[in-house]
């Protein structure tokens, strides 16, 4: 039984001129401990899928069809209390901008305690806090800092630590490194690999950066206009893509890859 089983998920947004379909009957699965990459550009619906699965979709968005099974239970039919239990314990999410997910007026320690109080009913002990920060190789002295005092990369690592505090089975990352530089990105991705070895969680990694997904995923799903174009292993995707859009994405990547020999893009 797979960890996450999405069947014909349809998500719409209520607009002035009618409803817009953001996710159109999408189906995919994530097995235990699997790393699934979700590739798509703006408007593809990739972020919407993540929010729908986490059940944190905001008005004017709403789920209009399909089922989402987490460990065999349809989470679209869960009550608010059941969802609260599910979120963060079993499934957690890291957002694109830690600026969006970290409260600017709370110290890092308070962010953790805030979450712990809501989820565990008690504050975290100091040793728990140190352990969680150690996951992302941040020093304990940062606990008393505020988000604006940390660099973008550090903030994102705090976001990852927060998400992993309760050791969920599935971690969803929505463009976690898009706003960061390649050097910081590499550092964070290496940390993610290490954590997966340590804790064994499954990952849904959402980004437009195809090379990252090809390098790290067990499977890559390519999305466009709310639909799945391809759902293949990295090797198959690179060499035998079926959908023309996948080929377009691969082409834009192929031109600009550092290891390839010099391209003829110059002097057009």
Residues binding another protein (CB under 8 A): 13-14, 16, 19, 41-43, 58-60, 62, 64, 137-138, 151-154, 181-187, 189-190, 193, 208-212, 214-216, 234, 238, 248-249, 251-253, 255-259, 262-263, 265-268
Rounded (5°) CA angle 201-64-208 = 50
The CA-to-CA distance between both ends of the chain, in Å, stands at 53
Min dist CB 246 to another protein, Å, is 11
Min dist CB 14 to another protein, Å, is 5
Min dist CB 41 to another protein, Å, is 4
CB 202 within 8 A of CB 3: yes
The order of strands in the sheet holding 35-39 is 91-94, 170-174, 202-207, 35-39, 219-224, 227-232
Min dist CB 72 to another protein, Å, is 26
Give the β-pairing of 219-224 and 4-15. Answer: unpaired
Min dist CB 211 to another protein, Å, is 4
Residue 151 Cα distances to 37, 65, 94, 174, angstroms: 26, 41, 17, 19
Considering beta carbons, is residue 72 or 265 the nearer one to another protein?
265
Considering beta carbons, is residue 3 or 214 the nearer one to another protein?
214
- Structure tokens that stand for 86 in this block: 């599910």
Considering beta carbons, is residue 4 or 39 the nearer one to another protein?
39
Min dist CB 175 to another protein, Å, is 11
Considering beta carbons, is residue 105 or 257 the nearer one to another protein?
257
């Amino acid at each position: 039984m797979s960890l996450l089983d999405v069947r014909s998920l349809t998500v719409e947004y209520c607009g002035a001129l009618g409803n817009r379909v953001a996710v159109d009957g999408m189906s995919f699965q994530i097995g235990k401990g699997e790393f699934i990459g979700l590739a798509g550009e703006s408007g593809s619906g990739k972020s919407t899928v993540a929010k729908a699965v986490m059940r944190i979709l905001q008005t004017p968005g709403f789920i209009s069809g399909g089922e989402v099974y987490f460990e065999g239970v349809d989470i679209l039919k869960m009550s608010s209390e059941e969802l609260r239990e599910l979120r963060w314990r079993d499934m957690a999410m890291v957002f694109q901008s830690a600026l969006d997910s970290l409260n600017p007026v709370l110290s890092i320690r308070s962010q953790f305690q805030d979450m712990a109080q809501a989820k565990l009913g008690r504050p975290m002990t100091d040793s728990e806090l140190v352990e969680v920060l150690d996951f992302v190789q941040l020093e304990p002295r940062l606990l008393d800092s505020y988000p604006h005092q940390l660099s973008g990369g550090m903030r994102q690592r705090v976001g990852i630590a927060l998400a992993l505090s309760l050791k969920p089975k599935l971690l969803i990352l929505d463009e976690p490194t898009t706003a960061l530089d390649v050097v910081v990105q590499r550092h964070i991705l290496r940390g993610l690999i290490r954590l997966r070895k340590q804790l064994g969680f499954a990952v849904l990694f959402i980004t437009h950066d195809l090379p990252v997904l090809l390098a790290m995923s067990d499977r890559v799903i390519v999305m466009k206009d709310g639909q799945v174009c391809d759902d293949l292993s990295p090797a198959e995707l690179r060499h035998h893509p079926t959908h023309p859009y996948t080929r377009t994405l691969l082409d834009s990547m192929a031109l600009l890859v550092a290891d390839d020999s010099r391209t003829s893009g110059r002097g057009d």
